[in-house]
């Protein structure tokens, strides 16, 4: 089966690259081994939160230049601060045109979002129905509200309003906690292990349950400037929190819950919808099992490039998938884009060259769990055109993007989504040129 481009991986990077290519008129297939790690994400997109020297970033342009000095192996530094900035601005425009209603921008710098435990975290873009707190130049919150009501669903275990309230109180906010339920939720609750954000959202999104929701929100809003709710509504109706805000005449905002995350899953669905709308061919639950390279494989000088001629996948068996170009966006260890065992670490599809993997296995991890873990920086090596390498040789018709790349720590540096978006657009640009 022939396509202009085959994208491997259906997460933020894979869909971003694929949609950008489809919009330029290329035919595109996307293979995914299962639903993506977006389902576990807050739904906010981080661009750059901290530098290797642990200093916090709020001015993103300055942050990129500091990063280029401190961390030349970071994908942003490989692309260069100017290029990264240009692509990130392109991503903001692209996301908006794809119907992702996000607040925040590079030019405004990082804003703050609330974690499921009420911690304020600097971030780049947040869905417009989530808690968005502007920050000043030093990263201090500029709270729009003093009195905050926390309204949760009875017996929902993935969000604890008391913990969040304690955090908000430390921020000088006055808080109150409320909960509600409705008959349909009581039925769902009989199965406690499935009483999770998306499943609850599917109940609360139904028109028949709207009166319960409206009543609970209005009650909680009575003595408050804003109502914060766990993100378990608005899955099929992304405008629901905004509609409730109108009814209660107070802002109703969502806080991401522990995984599975409704906002992340919704983001995944919106991207998938755009991909299909633009004529993309989705190959769900398929994986590459074999591939064929052409080029002088024994070239000892290592100067000539190799090209991928065809892929064979689990579902398509003897019928090869042939594309002019390919994007590898398979993610990190969690998404099985990188695999590790007792013998070492490898990139799952092609066995590409990796960066930052120490010789000795004992150097892979630190004893301190929340420390800057070396394994977080493992990943594929790329050049400035996002081309990866195989035994030192460039793969001419393969580009790599997102968390499969090495050289950065998405958790400590708070840059996972930004790297995914920027490298995906860089990969698309490299293919189009």
* Choice from 16, 36, 84, 123 touching another protein (CB under 8 A): 36
Q: How far is the CB of 235 from another protein (least distance, A)?
A: 9
Q: Which pair of structure tokens corresponds to residue 147?
A: 């009195």
Token representation of residue 79: 């692309």
Minimum CB separation from another protein for residue 94, in Å?
A: 22
Check binding of 1 to another protein (CB under 8 A): yes
Spell out, one character per residue from 85 to 124, where the chain touches another protein: x when CB under 8 A holds, - when not.
Answer: ----------------------------------------
Contact residue for another protein among 93, 191, 301, 360 (CB under 8 A)? 191
| Span interacting with another protein, options 51-59, 65-73, 193-201, 381-389, rule CB under 8 A | 193-201
Number of residues that bind another protein (CB under 8 A): 39
CA of 83: how far to CAs of 69, 89, 327, 377, 420, in Å?
15, 10, 19, 22, 14
138 binds another protein (CB under 8 A): no
DSSP 343-408: TEEEETTT---EES--SSGGGSS-SSTTS--GGGG-EE-B-TT--BEETTEEBTTEEE-GGGB-S-
258 binds another protein (CB under 8 A): no
CB of 312 to another protein, least distance (A): 12
- Choosing from 215, 273, 344, 383, the residue that interacts with another protein (CB under 8 A) is 273
Binds another protein by CB under 8 A, chosen from 93, 190, 300, 360: 190
For position 305 contacting another protein by CB under 8 A, the verdict is: no
Binding another protein (rule: CB under 8 A), the pick from 102, 188, 403, 419 is: 188
Choice from 4, 23, 184, 247 touching another protein (CB under 8 A): 184
Q: Does 289 bind another protein (CB under 8 A)?
A: no
- Length of the chain counted residue by residue: 433
- What residues contact residue 340 under an 8 Å CB cut-off, 6+ apart? 333, 346, 364, 375
Q: Considering only residues 25, 34, 72, 358, which one is a binding residue for another protein as defined by CB under 8 A?
A: 34
User: Residue 326, interface with another protein (CB under 8 A)?
Assistant: no
Give the residue with the Cβ less far from another protein, 25 or 34: 34
> Are the beta carbons of 104 and 137 closer than 8 angstroms?
no
Q: How many CA atoms lie within 13 A of 367 on its CB side?
A: 0
- CB-count burial class (<10 Å; 0-12, 13-18, 19+) for 53: exposed
Q: Which stretch binds another protein (CB under 8 A): 114-122, 145-153, 196-204, 374-382?
A: 196-204
Is 270 a binder of another protein (CB under 8 A)?
no
- List phi, psi (to 5°) of 307: -130, 150
Cα separation, 302 vs 390, whole angstroms: 10
| 346 near another protein, judged by CB under 8 A | no
Q: Token digits for 124?
A: 């780049």
- Give the count of alpha carbons within 13 A of 280, CB side only: 31
Q: Is the peptide bond before 141 cis (omega within 30 degrees of 0)?
A: no
CB of 30: closest distance to another protein in angstroms?
11
Alpha-carbon Rg for the chain in angstroms: 23
Binding segment (CB under 8 A) for another protein, from list 88-96, 198-206, 394-402, 422-430: 198-206
Select the residue interacting with another protein from 70, 223, 304, 315 (CB under 8 A): 315
C-alpha separations of 360 from 344, 356, 369 in Å: 9, 12, 19
The structure tokens 């509200």 sit at: 145
CB closer to another protein, 261 vs 413:
261
Cα 50 from Cα 362, distance rounded (Å)? 26
Strands (E), 155-259: 174-180, 226-230, 252-255
Among 29, 227, 400, 415, binds another protein (CB under 8 A): 29
- If binding is defined by CB under 8 A, does position 207 make contact with another protein? no
Which of 52, 134, 139, 260 lies at the binding interface for another protein (CB under 8 A)? 260
Closer of 35 and 152 to another protein (Cβ) = 35
Which one, 106 or 185, has the nearer CB to another protein?
Answer: 185
CA 239 to chain centroid, in Å, comes to 21
301 binds another protein (CB under 8 A): no
End-to-end Cα distance, the chain: 24
In angstroms, give the least distance from the CB of 276 to another protein.
Answer: 6
Distance CA 386, CA 396 (A): 10
Q: In the complex, which residues of this chain contact another protein (CB under 8 A)?
A: 1, 29, 33-37, 39-40, 184, 187-188, 190-191, 193-194, 196, 198-199, 202-203, 259-260, 265, 273, 276, 281-286, 314-319, 335
């Amino acid at each position: 089966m022939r396509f202009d481009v085959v994208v491997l991986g259906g997460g933020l990077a894979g869909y971003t690259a694929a949609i950008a290519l489809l919009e330029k008129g290329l035919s595109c297939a996307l293979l995914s081994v299962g639903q993506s790690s977006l389902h576990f994400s807050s739904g906010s997109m981080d661009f750059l939160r901290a530098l290797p020297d642990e200093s916090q970033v709020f001015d993103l342009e300055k942050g990129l230049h500091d990063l280029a000095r401190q961390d030349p192996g970071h994908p942003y530094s490989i692309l260069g601060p100017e290029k990264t900035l240009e692509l990130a601005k392109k991503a903001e425009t692209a996301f908006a045109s794809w119907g992702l209603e996000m607040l925040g921008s590079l030019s405004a710098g990082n804003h703050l979002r609330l974690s499921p435990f009420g911690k304020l975290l600097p971030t780049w873009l947040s869905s417009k129905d989530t808690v968005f707190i502007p920050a000043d130049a030093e990263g201090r919150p500029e709270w729009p509200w003093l009195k905050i009501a926390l309204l949760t669903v009875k017996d929902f275990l993935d969000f604890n309003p008391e913990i969040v309230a304690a955090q908000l109180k430390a921020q000088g906010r006055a808080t109150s906690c409320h909960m509600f339920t409705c008959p349909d939720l009581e039925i769902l609750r009989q199965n406690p292990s499935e009483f999770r954000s998306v499943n609850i959202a599917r109940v609360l999104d139904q028109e028949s349950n709207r009166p319960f929701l409206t009543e609970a929100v209005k009650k909680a809003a009575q003595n408050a400037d804003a109502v914060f709710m766990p993100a378990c509504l608005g899955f099929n109706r992304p405008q629901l929190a905004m509609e409730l805000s109108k009814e209660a005449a107070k802002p109703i905002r969502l806080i991401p819950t522990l995984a599975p995350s409704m906002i992340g899953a919704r983001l995944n669905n919106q991207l998938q919808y755009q991909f299909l709308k633009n004529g993309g061919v989705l190959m769900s639950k398929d994986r590459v099992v074999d591939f064929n390279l052409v080029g002088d494989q024994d070239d000892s000088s290592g100067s000539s490039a190799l090209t991928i001629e065809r892929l064979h996948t689990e579902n398509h068996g003897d019928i090869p998938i042939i594309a002019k170009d390919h994007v590898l966006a398979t993610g990190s260890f969690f998404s099985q884009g990188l695999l590790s065992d007792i013998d070492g670490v490898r990139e799952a599809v092609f066995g590409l060259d990796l960066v930052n993997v120490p010789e000795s296995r004992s150097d892979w991890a630190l004893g301190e769990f929340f420390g800057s873990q070396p394994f977080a920086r493992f990943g594929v090596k790329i050049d400035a055109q996002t081309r990866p390498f195989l035994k030192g040789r460039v793969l001419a018709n393969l580009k790599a993007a997102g968390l499969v790349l090495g050289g950065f720590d998405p958790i400590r540096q708070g840059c996972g989504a930004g790297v995914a978006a920027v490298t995906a657009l860089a990969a698309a640009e490299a293919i189009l040129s």
